[in-house]
């Protein structure tokens, strides 16, 4: 059997040769590669030299290194494997130790039922690939989140740069030695720097957000209409008590056509 195009390899560890042969016979009809080891040390040596195993089955009572000790090392070296302990002893303490120390998936008593053991191994394999897929999805999600965070960071830096540029341009316009007025396509005064606001007070009752046709005198409203019709003008007018050179032109803004007026005080 193959899952995700990955060959299934099962490592069986027991100090009794007849037990290993019995395990091997159980899976003769399955497309598994069964590898046998007669001790924990031999099993670790196989794990170190061979490609990874999906399932590791170990006897509990073995000389030198018992099954819990062996599977504990297996977990440390190959945490993705699914680990099973076989034991002919009804030792509750050993079961708890095996589960806690070796991170055991299942504890199977001897003698086992062949059909039940085959079902258990199938469940182990499904568990292995489910966990593998979860790890891969989490990795992909982490990579996607990293890309998203980088894009958000780049976008934030771009917005900060634009905000600084906007603040600079607003400050620049506000401190120009000429009056600047921006009027949207509906005639609303959308921008007015300090000099223009000072100069427009005598002729406009409502400057910021006001309607140039209703809040200002007919002279200024006429200038707006004239610029919108002619696209560009340059003239001299009397704005309150100030004699000004007025320059105006239309500009495209947000799919609409706005008007910019620039006032420069002159001596006529």
Q: According to the model, what pLDDT value does residue 204 have?
A: 79
The two tokens of residue 32 are 């598994």
Residue 154 has pLDDT above 60, yes or no: yes
pTM, whole model, 2 decimals? Answer: 0.57
Angle between helices 40-49 and 67-77 (to 10 degrees): 20
To 10 degrees, the CA torsion angle through 237, 206, 262, 230? Answer: -70
- Cβ burial of 183 (10 Å; 0-12, 13-18, 19+) is buried
The C-alpha atoms of residue 21 and residue 246 are separated, in whole angstroms, by 103
The candidate with the shortest Cα–Cα distance to 121, out of 62, 72, 70, 53, is 53
The C-alpha atoms of residue 139 and residue 133 are separated, in whole angstroms, by 10
pLDDT band at 107 (very low <50, low <70, confident <90, very high): confident
Q: Yes or no: say if 2 and 8 are a contact pair by the CB < 8 Å rule.
A: yes
Q: What's the mean pLDDT in 65-75?
A: 90
- Cβ burial of 76 (10 Å; 0-12, 13-18, 19+) is exposed
Q: According to the model, what pLDDT value does residue 167 have?
A: 86
> How many CB atoms lie under 10 A from the CB of residue 106?
18
User: For strand 6-13 and strand 106-109, is the pairing parallel, antiparallel, or unpaired?
Assistant: unpaired
CA distances from 45 to 39, 48, 185 (A): 10, 5, 81
The two tokens of residue 123 are 């469940």
Q: What's the mean pLDDT in 126-149?
A: 91
For each of the domains in the chain, give its residue range(s) and CATH number, in order of start: 2-139 (3.40.50.2300), 176-265 (3.30.450.20)
pLDDT band at 201 (very low <50, low <70, confident <90, very high): confident
Residue 1 has pLDDT above 50, yes or no: no
């Amino acid at each position: 059997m193959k899952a995700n195009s990955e060959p299934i390899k099962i490592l069986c560890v027991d100090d009794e040769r007849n037990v290993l042969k019995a395990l091997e016979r159980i899976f003769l009809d399955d497309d598994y590669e069964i590898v046998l080891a007669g001790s924990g040390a031999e099993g670790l040596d196989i794990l170190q030299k061979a490609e990874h195993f999906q399932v590791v089955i170990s006897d509990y009572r073995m000389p030198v290194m018992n099954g819990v000790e062996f599977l504990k090392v297996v977990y440390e070296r190959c945490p993705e494997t699914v680990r099973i302990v076989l034991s002919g002893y009804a030792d509750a303490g050993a079961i708890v130790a095996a589960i806690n120390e070796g991170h055991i998936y299942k504890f199977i008593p001897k003698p086992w039922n062949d059909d039940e053991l085959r079902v258990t191994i199938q469940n182990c394999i499904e568990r292995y690939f489910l966990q593998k897929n979860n790890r891969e999805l989490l990795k992909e999600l982490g990579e996607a989140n990293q890309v998203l965070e980088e894009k958000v960071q780049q976008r934030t830096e771009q917005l900060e740069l634009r905000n600084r540029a906007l603040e600079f341009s607003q400050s620049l316009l506000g401190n120009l030695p000429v009056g600047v007025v921006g009027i949207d396509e509906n005639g609303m005064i959308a921008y007015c720097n300090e000099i223009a606001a000072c100069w427009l007070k005598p002729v406009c009752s409502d400057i910021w957000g006001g309607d140039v046709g209703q809040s200002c005198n007919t002279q200024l409203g006429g200038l707006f209409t004239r610029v919108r019709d002619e696209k560009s003008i340059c003239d001299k007018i009397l704005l309150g008590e100030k004699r000004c050179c007025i320059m105006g032109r239309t500009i495209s803004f947000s799919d609409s056509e706005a008007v910019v007026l620039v006032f420069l005080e002159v001596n006529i």
